[in-house]
Structure 1
Amino acid sequence: MYLKNIQIDNYGAIPKLNIEFPFNDDGTPKPVVLVGKNGSGKTLLTSSIVDSLIQIKRSEFHSITEAKDNSYYKAGKKDYIREGQLFSFVRISYVLNDAKRLVYNDITSYTPSETQKLLQHYNINFQHDFTDNGFSKSIEGEAKGVFSKNAILYFPVNRYYNPAWLVERTDPRIETIESYVGKNTDNFIKTNVINSIESWILDVILDAELYEKQIIPAQPYILLGGVFQPINGSLIGANKGKNTQIQFLINKVLTTILKSKIPNLESARFGISNKESGRKISVIIREKGSDNDVMISPTFSHMSSGEAMLVALFCSIIKNFDAVSGAEKLNLTEITGLVIIDEIDLNLHIEYAKKAVPELLSLFPKVQFIITSHSPFFLLGMKDIFNLNYQVISTPGGEIIEESDFEELQTAYSIFIERFEDIKENLTILENEIYKSTRTLVITEGKTDWKHLKAALLHYQDKGEFKELDFSFHEYEDASFSDDKLHNFLTNVAQVSNTKKIIGIFDRDEGNGRKYSNNKINELGNNVYAMTIPQPEHRSYHDGICIEFMYKDNDLFKENEDGRRLYVSSQFNDNGRLIKDIRVGVQNHNKIKGKNNIKNDNIVDSEVIDISGRSLAMSKNDFANAVLNQCDTFKGMDFSAFRELFETLSEIIKK
């Protein structure tokens, strides 16, 4: 059974919505992700789906655990009718394996008679007391066998709170109940699954070991008195059976989760910890290129909460399908069902949300996933894994989010993850530099700044000046220390005792650099100092410079052998055209918007092209390398503006 269509009118935050759920050409369902601001109706929508499933289940069983007796899961409340409207209408359609349909209707009205007339074309079988109280829930179609053929699960967000529409009930607990005809004891609403899943995984492993060992007839011999004598015996082969299959599927889920944390992972599996730990399941891994297994979690509780929740969530699908289907062989690709997950990214690290969760969803191609999420990183991961074979729908209107809307999300991910990894590696290298010598360490804000300073210092020392300056630069190529990153690093290092001086040099164009420019030397404590590059006389008009502006224009605009050079924003007009040659322009003129004046000049080192599309800009890094390496056209640079900076460095080192 799969969800086919949802129609909602005038219900809570949703004025009007009509969602047709998508399927692939082979009939398998595409995952659907519901996104929207808090209060936009995502939880109301999923609660309606769950309520419809409970009503479908109730039509087959006279006793269910999701709701007591004749009470409802989702309470009917007229205050959920949108202001100014007279009724709310929820209609949810399902398609069964035999192409038959099941339809759920949920109607609330201030004017029942008029509402019946408005909805008469749906041929709804209204409850007999609808005209008296204005509430009606009904099921159209035959529901028999739905819950015995599919994994149907709901993982709500109310593990932390109860929403207003939830009817009070006693939370389901693990208990031994004897089933009988007409009674269903499995609750598909999973509010506390970690403990039960841990117990189930332990049972699976033990059953596989105890009952599914293959005994192979054999004739062993033993050497007695120099003669081999036959004895009774047999060989024990690999496990084979249903629990062994399930154990393989569980380990596949575990491996998929841990790959996000351990890139070199070859496999992961659950084992059984020793008796001292209380016979609990443990997590064992093997990395690529290794012949040894390593236990990384002696018990289930040693896993992170995010890892444990993902194991519990996706193993619950296997557990549920095994319980209801009666299948002798289990394969993830053959599990059918409907799984609703509210806020799937809740409490998950960015990498798990982006990589692990989409890969886990892809393991179950015949399960229809209806998911709500607030994570842009999860959406990026879905795009990476599913390409076009999934759908993102925005509430409250039900608009489909197109692929073109993901470009900004990819940029955000790059900033959050890829740049962070560069910074983290950079800090590790820097930590080693701090302790490997007693020389003063100079750290610049940008990854090109140290090259300019090094070139200028070599220039002066070749002339016999500043020979006393004995320090080393933190020379790095990957990620730069931004204004904030350098400031945070220095203030943290200043909290501990340092036997050598550490000096951070900032540009003057951002927050901390501007702040430190108020003083020539800023002593942060424990031999840690901060300073900014000086304001040269030839840039006295500028509000805040970066290091390239230490050069005069005739050096700043030098061309390399390919005819490329740096530009500044004041050289372009409001339309992004080069003032001296309108055949040249900036592709994205927003780069110079508001900065095309000499007071707010910015370096422009990309996206400058001529009318033929040829790129004319040289990157800051290429410019810095050309200066440091004294390339042909960059010999004889004027470093006079750097003198004041080295004088300040000399003053700090002598303190």
Structure 2
Amino acid sequence: MKIRKLTIKNDYVLGNMELDFTNEDGKVVNTIILAGENGVGKTRILDLIHNFSNHNLRPNSTHFKNAIYEFEIELNEDEFNSIKTENDFRIINLIENKFTVYLDTSSENNYSKIKYYNGTEIISVDNYFFILNNSKKYFQTTYSTTQINFNVNEISSVTAKEIDEQLKDSLKQTENISTEIAQLLIDIDSSDNSDLARWVEENPGLAPPREVKKIRTKRFKNAFDFMFPCKKFDGIKNISGNKEILFTENQKKMTINQLSSGEKQIVFRGGFLLRNQNSNKGIILIDEPEISLHPTWQMKIVEFFKILCKSEQYTNQIILTTHSPFILHNETRANDKVITLKKDYSGNISVSDEKKFFNWTNEEIIKEAFNIDYFLNQLPNNKKPLIITEGKTDWKHFKTALEFFKSKDLFLDLDINFLEYTDSNDKSKDAPSIKLNMSVSELNTILLSLSKFSQNNKIIGIFDSDHSIGKKYLTFEHLGNNVFAFCINDPSHRKKNTEGISVELLYYDSDLLQTSPCERRLYLSNEFSKKGRFLKDTDICYENSSKISKHLEETTQKIIDTDVSNSKDQSLALSKSDFANYIYKKTPPFDNINFEGFKDLFIQLQNIINNN
């Protein structure tokens, strides 16, 4: 069930208001962002929706009395067919999957009605189905509030918490969510271990496949990996009589209590929503997801929650509140609707058409979010074009390739600088001084923002072509003010990749798939079977086989740089970062590389730089 519209009359905080959760085509929008300054009633709206799902909008309600609330509801096909069979629903001529629940908390009589279309007109009938307990299964909410106690209490034992339990009522996060989610992670890790032990007992002499390992904890690990590219969920360990949840970063282990407040926010609020990912078909309510998050994480957080609230069978409607300019002005926002609330000098709250806050410009936002003032200040003194790459190691590939071509007297006129950066987690001695947590969306936002004001020298962004954002620049584009963008294209030695490519696929396989000094290598998705078995050696497998089901052909191949192991559980995959460093430092056997696949990229750069 999803909300199409919410009409509010005489609410003691919100007054009179209509909130439309549909798009221009009249279709319900799955992600609603309620935006505005503090004090404009954003949280009140979430409370209102949650209380409706719990049947608390009644005439004797302290907080919602003497008001009228109308919820226009849309059912999915299963809900529509089911609700018509409910004896208490009593509307047998419902022909559409949409109707309106009308609640008048100012009246004990005729308090609850349903308005619906009967084929000829919209009629209103008394109906108390949506204040009865058996209606709760049709309208459930999961409410993530800002109230979090970040400290996890000591946990010494396993309980019986599980995931995807059948929900009977709406859920609301409590202040003790940190300990609850920690206990859940410990319990499901224990369940995973028990299932694995049972499989080994029932299949003597066989190596357990990846599909039977960490079935429950996998969803949490994958979600955390999205937000923490360098910090990994490492599992549960017994330490000093207690069970500790561990994470690893740069080979350094830390407990869940040692995470930053922003990281804990992701783990606890994300875990709260992930807990019932496959059984929860209700509306997700999230109050101010930006709390405690760095601006770079704020720009990713909405997409993070979208991933959490989508199962194979169902996409939940998300309604969240924010006053973060990094969420609202994010260029990569898509498939959502922003509803802006404002309060006038008399204290009246209304829906505004204005979508901007604090009068922040894109330039101000991006400077604050990415800390790029340093190299922006260097640009006026820099007389060379600046190349900014999507990945923290991509510039190493391009710089090394250009050095190779120049040694062969090619591209000698290509006098450029690369933005040599790494992420904030890189503590190595030779790490570049500029620290940026870059991604395809961040690069796109940076370029669009830089294009808003004058640049003395050309700035060129280079994208991979394996993302929808990068694909926008298959033909180079002048974004304005000397700022350009383009994406890499398939080299001549590879078949046309319908999914797009990352920089590593510019190399020939003879170089790409070499074994490193640490006995690891990169893999291609089409080297594996549908079940994740390595075609050349079935003792080797890829853990996340579901991720490569669409990439088993040469025309859809992807790079695999993690989760490849043998039956002894030895990790065999070389990370993209290590591969780039071997190339950059010319570490044998990566000291004699064929860079022919990079030639078209430098021709493109020549065309942009030499074209005035």
- Return the TM-score normalized by structure 2: 0.46
Normalized per residue, which structure has more helix? 1
